[in-house]
Each structure stands twice: as C-alpha cells, then as structure tokens.
Structure 1
Amino acid sequence: MRFLVAECEPPEARERRRESVGRSSGETYLAVLHKLAPGAECDRLKPTDSRAEIPSRETLTGYDAVFLTGSPLHLWQDSPEARRQIDFMHRVFASGTPSFGSCAGLQVACVAAGGKVRSMGKRREAGFARRLAATEAGRSHPLLAGRPPSYDAPAIHTDEVEQLPEGATLLAGNRVTAVQAAEIRCGEGVFWGVQYHPEISLREVAAALRRQASDLLECGLARTEADIDGLAAQVDALHEEPERADLAWRLGLDDQVTDPGQRTRELRNFIEHLVRPTRLRRGRG
C-alpha cells in the first residue's frame, strides 16, 4: 500500500512540537502507520508551507489513502495556510482517494466540503475527550467498530466543527463537542475523521498539556502551572507503565486509551474497512 500523510501544522508549530515531544504531527502519523500497515510506502507532504507543491488530482490517485494530521491552524480564519490546506483537500476529494483526518484534519475536510468550523471560546477538551458516544448511524459504522457504547480518547483542541457539510454523517459526539466523528462524502471522495487523536501516545498527550499550559490557565482548567505539570507527569508515568491500575484509576482511564491497539482503533478500521476494499476495486490487489 501507498500512503500520503499531509502535515497540517504550520512550520513554527511543527518545530514547537518537535522540541516538546521529538517529532512533528506528520512524523507521529508515519510511525503509527508503519506499525498498523507494515511494508506500506509512506510519503509526507506539508501543504501549509508556502513553498510546498500541492499534488495534482492525478498524482493523488496513485495513493491508497491520504491522512490529515492535527494542527493549531484555525480554519474559521482566512489565511494563506488555510487556503492551501483547503485547496489540497479539494484535490483529495476529486481524486477519489480515501482520506482520514484527526482534529484539524476533520475540520479541513469539513470546510473543503462546504461545512463550517468555529472557535470553542473558553470551552476546552484538554488531554482527553470523555464519554464519547456513537450516534445511531455510528453504532453500525465500520469506523467505530469495536468501540464500546461510551469511551474516552486523547484530545486537545480549541476549535470544533460547527456544521457538517450536506450529505455528511455524524458518527459520534459528547457533551463538549457535538461532532466527534463523521463521514464526509464530496465528489468522488470519502473521508472518515475524528475530532480526537487516535494516533498520539500518552507521552504526546503530556507534552501537549505542557505546550498549552498558558491557554489552560487562561481558560480556568488549572490554577497553576504546577497543577498542569502534575497532571502531565501522571500521564507520562502511565505511558511508561500502561499496566499501572493506580494511575489509570487516578486519571479515570481504561484500556480504550491505555492500550495502543484500542487507542488506534479508528485508524486500523479505516485501513481495513475503507482503504483495502477501495484498493481492490481499483485493481491493485
């Protein structure tokens, strides 16, 4: 199989993430995809970069799947970076290549297909999205196959989908963010996406909390930076020893988050239930 990872992060955000966790969002995706699909050929693209060459529709048809990463990019604001990212997604849809996105990746697909994204204001999901629940459509959708009726997932975001595009299917939500998982069809393309982050490790959750400490303080989710450091330290410790029931209990987590096989379920389902069948229909064996 041949995958393309589109790194939605602007250059400065990419470097901040590397400084805190050792790799960019695109590099995280590459590492996970190599585990989920050993032997797959994976390329990385940076559509937000001013010098990036956006692949043509014809080039994109040569891939079996496109993955869109998270990013602090605000799709509700007009910017050259946002326009380049949306133009890229238009081409992905036109190519008919299956696509998947997490966090900002879902928002990019939504806007490109005619939906709307908004700021969450002072609301936040920081560290983990809690009590995610499938809709009636989501309970039978292969993207969420194997998920229990209610589950948690790594998440940290300041924006959310306000309105899905026409013809999209809402698959999951919670009380904080109504659109947590969706299928979007546009032109020849099919996109499956989630607002949360099935691709990131607990270590990356801890790093994200530390990177966004000032925002969390401003929104009242913590009183002091020491509070955030303490929480991040517990998440880091659970990353190192995922079998520690005491830490999982203290953080209110179960194997849906602590077990990498469960945590990455949506990515695995996307590859097995959309990418492989599409590959066969295209005669690629």
Structure 2
Amino acid sequence: MSLNILIVEGNNPEDSSVFIEAAKASCSENLKNLVQKIEPLAEIKIINPSRDNETKEALENLNQYKGIIFTGGAMRINDMTDEIKKHINFASNCFKHGKKILAICWGLQVCSTAAGGNVAPAKNGAHIGIATDVKINDEGKKNLIYKNKRHIFTTPAFNFDEVIELPEGAKLLSSDSINRVMAIYFKSGQSEIWGLQYHPDYEYWQMVNLSNARKDRLLNNNIFKNEDEFEKHVNYIKEQDLDFDNRTHEVRNWLDNLKAS
C-alpha cells in the first residue's frame, strides 16, 4: 500500500477562517504541508467530521489509508455540541479499523474522550503559543514517537483544556508545568494512538499570529493581566529558536512507523 493518509480537520469553518488568516493555512492544510515536506510522495485526503457525507465516505474507505491524523482546533470538549459529538463519534469508529493514529492537541482530546478518558479546563493555566520545558519521562524515552527527540524541549502549543483522566491502559509519555498530560500512547479497539498536547506541525510565527488574533479574547478572559504582559509573552515566543528537525521528530517518527508496518 502506498503512503495514503487521512487528515481529520479539527475546526469548524468559522474557526478555520481565523487560522487561515493568521497561520496562512487551515489546521489540516498545515499538517498536510508538513507531512509532504517530510514524505513528498504521501497521498493525503482531508475530511471534516462535521460534514456527514465526508465521514461516511471516509469510514467506507478506511482500508485505503495507512494512518490517520487528527489535527488541532479551537473547539472545547466540555461544550459538547452536536458538532463535537460528531468528532468524537468519528474517532470511535476509526478505532475499529486497526489504524495507526496521530492525534494533535484537539485531536488528542477527541481521541482520549472517544476512548473513555476525560478532558477538562486546565487547572494550571493555558499554553498560549508555546510550551516550555516539556519533559519526556522514562516511558516516553522508550516510545517510538520520541526517537531522537531532546528529553527536555520547548515547542509550539496552544490549549486551554487538558486530559485529566487517561483512557484505560494509556501510558503517559511527557509532561510540563502546565499540563501533566503532554503526550500519551494507548490502544483502543483495533487501533494504536499517539496523542500530543502540543504542535510539532506549527512554527512560532504562526503561534504569534494566532495569539495576536485572539488578543482581545485572551485579555477579556484574564489569561493576561494587561496588554503589557501579553506583549511580553509574545516577544518571548519571538525570541525562541525553533529547530525544524527536533520540532518535527514526532511526525517523522510516526510516518516512519507507518512505512514500516
């Protein structure tokens, strides 16, 4: 089988428009660009679970795909709208088909919920554009997703919620001072899932733009005390040196695992 990959968009059209304007691509297109930079011959199909015809077609043809990637997004699990339920239901159905799944940020939260885990607003604050000093634990050091990754790293990240209860049998792979669950590995149904609460698929300039696009909301919700504190944080992100290879090891390692299977 050729390297056919299904990418599952995590945003609704309204939120996607913000990402497209700020990051110059939707979540799914951004991931597609990265995957094809690493594997130029990969064939990629993008679907959105909010569109019933797309999910129906995807589920009927999952045997065509070597793996599935669930992207980030701006929705929040606890809102549990009909649209969010469709994302969770689609993940549950994917688990039945024995696929290797990479679940990023919102994708991790969707897949964890679908597998019986629990997601809630993060108690220690939010990642706004960046996660600092993520530490890979002993279990993570043994997991293929972190092959060649620095054991302590800083990475693009943007989330207000976190996985507070792991799916049954899940293994915690990394943590930071804000989220205990920064990466996990688990099996559900017939599938293997690697979940990341951060973004190997984004660059810092994109996170700066997304932060600026959400500035008023962040200030209104008291994520920052004032505009000066916000600007100081944005400047901190701008100062970071982003090593492409180290940032993207997780995606590269997952793709290598697909090719080897």
Q: Same fold (TM over 0.5)?
A: yes
Q: Secondary structure at the match of 2:21?
A: helix
Partner residue in 2 for 1:139: 141
Partner residue in 1 for 2:250: 266
Kept in 2: contact 1:101–1:194 (CA 8 A): yes
Partner residue in 2 for 1:221: 224
CA distance in 1, matches of 2:37, 2:254: 14
Question: Closer, same or farther in 2 for the Cα pair 1:26/1:56, shift >3 Å?
Answer: closer
Kept in 2: contact 1:120–1:159 (CA 8 A): yes
Question: Closer, same or farther in 2 for the Cα pair 1:220/1:77, shift >3 Å?
Answer: closer
If the length of structure 2 is used for normalisation, what is the TM-score? 0.92
Kept in 2: contact 1:132–1:152 (CA 8 A): yes
Amino acid at match of 1:261: D
Q: Secondary structure at the match of 1:76?
A: helix
State the 1:196 CA deviation: 0.3
CA RMSD of aligned residues (A): 2.0
CA distance in 1, matches of 2:158, 2:40: 28
CA distance in 2, matches of 1:266, 1:162: 22
If the length of structure 1 is used for normalisation, what is the TM-score? 0.84
> Gapped runs of 5+ residues in structure 1?
239-246, 248-252, 279-285
Percent of residue pairs bearing the same amino acid type: 25
Matches within 5 A, 1:1-285: 1-49=3-51, 52-55=54-57, 57-120=59-122, 123-217=125-219, 218-224=221-227, 228=230, 232=234, 235=237, 247=239, 253-254=240-241, 258-272=242-256, 274-278=257-261
State the 1:197 CA deviation: 0.3
Count of aligned positions = 258
> Gapped runs of 5+ residues in structure 2?
none
Amino acid at match of 2:131: A
Runs of 4+ in 1 over 3 A off after TM superposition: 49-58, 226-235
CA distance in 2, matches of 1:106, 1:85: 12
Q: Answer 1 or 2: higher relative contact order, Cα 8 Å, separation at least 6.
A: 2
State the 1:262 CA deviation: 1.4
State the 1:59 CA deviation: 1.2
